[in-house]
Structure formats: C-alpha cells, structure tokens
C-alpha cells in the first residue's frame, strides 16, 4: 500500500505537509499515511474552494507518457473507491452506535417486542437497521406467522423462509386472502373471496403489474405448504394452528399431504379452498387426533355433498377432543350431522350456517343425555331447509331444561324458515316458535332470529341469485330434497314421542317478529 503512495508523494510535494510538530492535536503515533490522509481530507475545508479536478488535470498533463496517465487515473480510481468505502463503513458504524443509544433496549427485550408483531410489521422492522434485522431473525418472532393479506402478494418463498426462521418456535400459520380487516372468521358473513369481487381495485391493479414483472411470483400455489412436510415433517410436527383462506390453487392432494405432516394440530380453519369435505375430514381423522377446533367453509356453497356417514363416524372416533365444529355451505343430511353432534362428547360450539338439506331433525332428543348437552353455541343461520317446526321443537326442549349450557343461538334466515310441508313455503312470522318464553325462562341466552319482513315475496329464483358463488339448479335441488326427505323418515331415531308438542300450541307468540327496517338494517333480538 505504501509503495503505491511513494511516487505520488513526489508529485504532491508542492503541497505543504503538516507534521506532528505543527499540529499538537495529532497523536505522535500517527503514521506518515495518517498525516497524508489528514491533510488531504482537510482540503475540502480550505477557504478558496479547492478544485480537485483542475488539479488532477494538471497532473495528467504533466505526466510524461500515456501509460503514466493511465496509471494516474487508475490510482485515482483505486484510492477514491477505498476512501469512499472507508467513509461509508464508518458512517454505518456511527449510525449503528447511534441506533443502539436511540433504541436503548437490549437484544433480548427487543426480540420480545418483535415477537408481538404481526409478520408484516416484523418485516418492516427488519428492514429498518442492522440491529433490528438481527433481532428480527430470532425464531421467537416467527412463532405465529400471519401472512394473510387483502390482495395476493405472498408467494411460496416467503412462506418457506418464515417457517424456516421459526425453527423450533413454530406454532401457528395463517395464510391466504382475507377480505378486509373488519371481517372476522367468527362472524356469520361468508368469507369466500373472489378476486373478481375485490373492492380495492386500484391497489390490486398495481399489484397485478408487479405480478407480471415477477412472473406471477406473488401467488401462493398448491405447494405452499410443502415446508411443513420437509425435513421429515419437522415444522409440521410443531404446528398447532393452521388457517388457510381462499388459496385458489390449493388442491386435495397437496392439502392432505400437508395435514399428514401435522399430528399436533389443534385448530384448523379452511375457508374457500377447493378441497372436498369428505377427503379433508378423512385426512383430519387419520392424522390430527388432537384437534379441538375445526372450521370449514366451502368454496362452492351448497354444491359439496361429499360427506358420508362412515366419514362422520371415523371423525368422531379419532378426534374426540373436538369442542368447536363449523361446517358452512355444505350439503349435509340430518342423520350425518347427528352423528357428529352426538358423537363429539366435548362439543361446545356448533355452526352449520348456510348448510343445505338439514331440516333440524338432528336436534331432536339431543340436549339431555350424552352428546350435545354441553352445547353452548349453536348457529344455524341461513339454512335453507331448516324447518320452523324443528326449531320450535328444539326451543321447547330448551324450555324443558335441556341444553343447560346453551348461551347463544342463531336461527336467522334471510328467506325465513321452511314450513312443514313444502320447503318452498317460507315462514317469516313464526307463531309456533316460543321465542318470548325462551327469553323469559333462560335470560342468559343470546338469541338471534332475524327474518325478512312479512309479506315480502321472495322469488325462488331470487334465492339462488343472491348467492354469488352457488349455481344450484332448481330441479336437482327439489329432487335431492325429496329423496333425502324419505331417507330422513326412515333413518331418524324413534324419538317422535317426547318432543311432539301439544305444548307448542300454548306458546303462541303473536307479535314477536323481527322486521327488517330497510333492506340492510335488521333489528337484532338480543338479550
């Protein structure tokens, strides 16, 4: 390094070199190099501003040969870049030092803070400075990975990276497209989200451009869950909670492979995936024996009727810990639902909203003995074939003391409840349902019974138009109903005796109706 400098020292001999003697502030240990550098750097402060490039030009002109000129230029490049690098490095060091003072928390506390952040904020923090970056790589920060977004922008690589970073702390994974921050899975609004229905079109089209740039790299494909199976299923074994929303490309095979890698799963929530109910439940009952919560919302409302009774029996036998079960938007027959509700001994939360075919007979004789008596929440919202007579029967049982733990019941239906004989006929003003009595006798129950106002004629066709995702054709629906109707008659248990209500007539509740004020506002009947 020094040898490089010697020739240039001679050409710069015109400039005065301050020695240690002249400047008492300099340590005597400063080498010749240090002095040189110091005097060079002080050039930028000199009062008639020094013009480096003019000076350099003069040097070049005075160079004896062309080769010497090239040499000078090379040296200028080298030294210039060395100096620049040194300055940048020092600037970074100083910035880091400043940061550690400004953010005075030690790393372990910083990691603790970061572990409370959602994945997106965590990534922002990691991009802030090197100290944050290091802390943000700690596995604790990735215990609960939430990569749900409003528009598609996450790809498989991101999922894989985060799962890898989680290491042994990996506990929970949420993935997919969730429309807006306000809707929560607990609400009864259908979550199935279609790109076409995207509300925030402007931001989505910008993302779309990015997508094309990255060659569709912002889409989750069906292999997005492969990291769960990798390394002998190391990650999958740790997973306790898995929530997947509207991953268009997920299919049965890939999903079942993923489930097979997660034996410790406690909470599974699937919304809008193109997977078959039966296959998924088979996979759950084969692999996830510890599962406690199952929330499954169909991507094709009313068209998946794959569920079979042996599947229900297997699920009940292999997954005894299920305390929360939601199957929304499927075709479910009463006898199959009955297997589930009676079979899960610990069942507290049951949600069969937007189900087709169930008429409510599965509720008969449920609340007293084994199975169903622990039920705290029952949601049967918008079940098209739910009969008012069965609801009445159920509420009578509640009045009689069954379902001791029931605290929330939702039998609202935007088309009203089905009448006894023909499910076409709807009942909006149910006089046989003892709503008032239930509220008096069991005041702690929160009871939702929203029906459209009396006299508003709902076209049968309109019923199907209102559901964007379903394409149920009329004749097949009718035929399946009647065929199942006969099935119901034969296979339901001999429980017609007790609940048949002469009691029903006593509880004439005339004025107890929920009317819609406007098309969207509905009064809740809440206690």
Partner 1 sequence: MLLSKNSALESKDNEIFEVEESIAIQSELIKTMTTMVNSKAYVNERNQMVPEARCRKQANYHVEQNNKIVDEELSDWESKFFEVDMDDLHELFMAANYLEIESLLNGVTKRVGDFIKACKNVEVIRQTFGINNDFAAQQEEEIRKLNSWNHI
User: Residue 231: CA atoms inside 13 Å, Cβ hemisphere, count?
Assistant: 12
Q: What's the closest the beta carbon of residue 317 comes to partner 1, in angstroms? A: 38
Q: What's the closest the beta carbon of residue 115 comes to partner 1, in angstroms? A: 8
Q: What's the closest the beta carbon of residue 300 comes to partner 1, in angstroms? A: 29
Cα 309 versus chain centre, distance: 31
**Could you please report the per-residue DSSP string of 195-246?**
GGG-S-HHHHHHHHHHHHHTTSTTS--GGGGHHHHHHHHHHHHH--EEEEE-
Is residue 404 involved in binding partner 1 (CB under 8 A)?
A: no
Q: What's the closest the beta carbon of residue 318 comes to partner 1, in angstroms? A: 37
What phi and psi, each to the nearest 5 degrees, are found at residue 63? Answer: -70, 135
Is residue 107 involved in binding partner 1 (CB under 8 A)?
A: no
User: Binder to partner 1 among 113, 140, 290, 313 (CB under 8 A)?
Assistant: 113
User: Binder to partner 1 among 154, 332, 399, 514 (CB under 8 A)?
Assistant: 154
User: Binder to partner 1 among 9, 19, 32, 88 (CB under 8 A)?
Assistant: 88
Is residue 164 involved in binding partner 1 (CB under 8 A)?
A: no
Is residue 204 involved in binding partner 1 (CB under 8 A)?
A: no
Kindly indicate which of the ranges 84-92, 177-185, 382-390, 431-439 contains the residues binding partner 1, using the contact rule CB under 8 A. 84-92
User: Binder to partner 1 among 5, 26, 37, 117 (CB under 8 A)?
Assistant: 117
Q: How far apart are CA 191 and CA 210, in angstroms?
A: 26
Cβ density class 359-375: b for 16+ within 10 Å, e for less? bbbbbbbbbeeebbbbb
Is residue 124 involved in binding partner 1 (CB under 8 A)?
A: yes
Residue at token pair 């497209």: 177
Q: How far apart are CA 307 and CA 193, in angstroms?
A: 23
Joined together, the tokens standing for residue 458 give: 């709902």
User: Binder to partner 1 among 13, 21, 25, 102 (CB under 8 A)?
Assistant: 102
Residues 205-244 within binding reach of partner 1 (CB under 8 A):
210, 214, 218
Kindly indicate which of the ranges 126-134, 361-369, 421-429, 442-450 contains the residues binding partner 1, using the contact rule CB under 8 A. 126-134
Q: How far apart are CA 514 and CA 184, in angstroms?
A: 25
Kindly indicate which of the ranges 149-157, 184-192, 344-352, 375-383 contains the residues binding partner 1, using the contact rule CB under 8 A. 149-157
Is residue 165 involved in binding partner 1 (CB under 8 A)?
A: no
Residue at token pair 């119901």: 488
DSSP H helices, 370-513, are: 388-399, 435-441, 460-465, 474-491, 496-499, 503-506
Kindly indicate which of the ranges 46-54, 113-121, 232-240, 372-380 contains the residues binding partner 1, using the contact rule CB under 8 A. 113-121
Is residue 103 involved in binding partner 1 (CB under 8 A)?
A: yes
Q: Are 361 and 499 in contact (CB under 8 A)?
A: no
Q: What's the closest the beta carbon of residue 247 comes to partner 1, in angstroms? A: 15
Q: How far apart are CA 3 and CA 6, in angstroms?
A: 5
Q: How far apart are CA 416 and CA 423, in angstroms?
A: 10
Is residue 98 involved in binding partner 1 (CB under 8 A)?
A: yes
Is residue 489 involved in binding partner 1 (CB under 8 A)?
A: no
Q: Are 254 and 225 in contact (CB under 8 A)?
A: yes
What Å distances lie between residue 300 and 256, 303, 305, CA to CA?
Answer: 19, 6, 10
Q: How far apart are CA 311 and CA 285, in angstroms?
A: 8
Is residue 498 involved in binding partner 1 (CB under 8 A)?
A: no
Considering beta carbons, is residue 11 or 213 the nearer one to partner 1? 213
Kindly indicate which of the ranges 45-53, 94-102, 328-336, 439-447 contains the residues binding partner 1, using the contact rule CB under 8 A. 94-102
Q: What's the closest the beta carbon of residue 103 comes to partner 1, in angstroms? A: 6
Is residue 82 involved in binding partner 1 (CB under 8 A)?
A: no
Partners of 149 in the beta sheet?
Answer: 177
Name the site residues for partner 1 (rule: CB under 8 A).
88-89, 91-93, 95-96, 98-99, 102-105, 109, 112-114, 116-118, 120-121, 123-130, 132-133, 153-155, 158, 161, 210, 214, 218
């Amino acid at each position: 390094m020094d040898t490089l400098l010697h020739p240039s020292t001679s050409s710069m001999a015109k400039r005065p070199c301050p020695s240690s003697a002249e400047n008492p502030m300099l340590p005597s240990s400063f080498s010749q190099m240090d002095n040189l550098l110091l005097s060079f750097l002080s050039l930028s402060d000199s009062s008639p501003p020094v013009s480096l490039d003019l000076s350099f030009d003069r040097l070049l002109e005075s160079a004896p040969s062309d080769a010497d000129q090239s040499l000078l230029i090379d040296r200028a490049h080298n030294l210039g870049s060395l100096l620049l690098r040194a300055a940048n490095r020092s600037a970074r060091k100083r910035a880091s030092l400043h940061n550690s003072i400004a953010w005075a928390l030690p790393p372990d506390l910083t990691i603790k803070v970061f572990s409370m952040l959602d994945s997106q904020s965590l990534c922002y923090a990691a991009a802030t400075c090197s100290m944050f970056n290091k802390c943000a790589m700690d596995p604790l920060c990735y215990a609960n990975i939430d990569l749900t977004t409003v528009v598609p922008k996450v790809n498989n690589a991101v999922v894989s990276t985060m799962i890898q970073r989680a290491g042994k702390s990996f506990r929970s994974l949420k993935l997919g497209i969730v429309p807006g921050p306000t809707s929560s899975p607990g609400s009864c609004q259908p979550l199935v989200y279609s790109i076409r229905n995207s509300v925030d079109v402007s931001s989505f089209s910008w993302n779309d451009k990015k997508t094309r740039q990255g060659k569709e790299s912002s889409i989750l494909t069906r292999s997005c869950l492969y990291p769960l199976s990798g390394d002998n299923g190391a990650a999958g074994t740790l997973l306790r909670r898995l929530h997947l929303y509207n991953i268009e490309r997920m299919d049965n095979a890939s999903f079942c492979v993923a489930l097979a890698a997660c034996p410790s799963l406690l909470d599974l929530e699937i919304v809008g995936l193109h997977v078959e109910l039966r296959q998924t439940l088979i996979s759950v009952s084969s692999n996830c024996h510890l599962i406690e919560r199952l929330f499954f919302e169909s991507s094709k409302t009313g068209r998946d009727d794959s569920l079979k009774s042996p599947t229900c029996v297997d699920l009940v036998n292999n997954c005894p810990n299920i305390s929360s079960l939601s199957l929304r938007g499927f075709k479910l027959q009463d006898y199959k639902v009955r297997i589930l509700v009676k079979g899960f001994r610990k069942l507290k939360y049951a949600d069969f909203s937007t189900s087709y075919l169930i008429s409510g007979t599965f509720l008969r004789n449920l609340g007293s003995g084994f199975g169903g008596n622990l039920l705290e929440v029952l949601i049967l919202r918008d079940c098209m074939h739910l009969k008012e007579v069965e609801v009445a029967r159920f509420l009578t049982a509640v009045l009689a003391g069954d379902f001791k733990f029931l605290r929330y019941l939702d039998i609202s239906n935007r088309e009203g409840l089905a009448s006894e004989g023909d499910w076409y006929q709807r009942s909006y003003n149910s006089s046989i349902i003892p709503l008032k009595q239930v509220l008096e006798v069991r005041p702690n129950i929160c009871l939702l019974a929203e029906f459209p106002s009396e006299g508003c004629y709902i076209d049968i066709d309109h019923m199907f138009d209102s559901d964007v995702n379903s394409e149920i054709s009329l004749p097949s629906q009718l035929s399946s109903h009647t065929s199942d109707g006969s099935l119901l008659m034969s296979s339901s248990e001999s429980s017609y005796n007790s609940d048949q209500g002469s009691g029903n007539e006593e509880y004439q509740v005339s004025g107890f109706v929920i009317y819609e004020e406007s098309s969207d506002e509905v009064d809740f009947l809440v206690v």
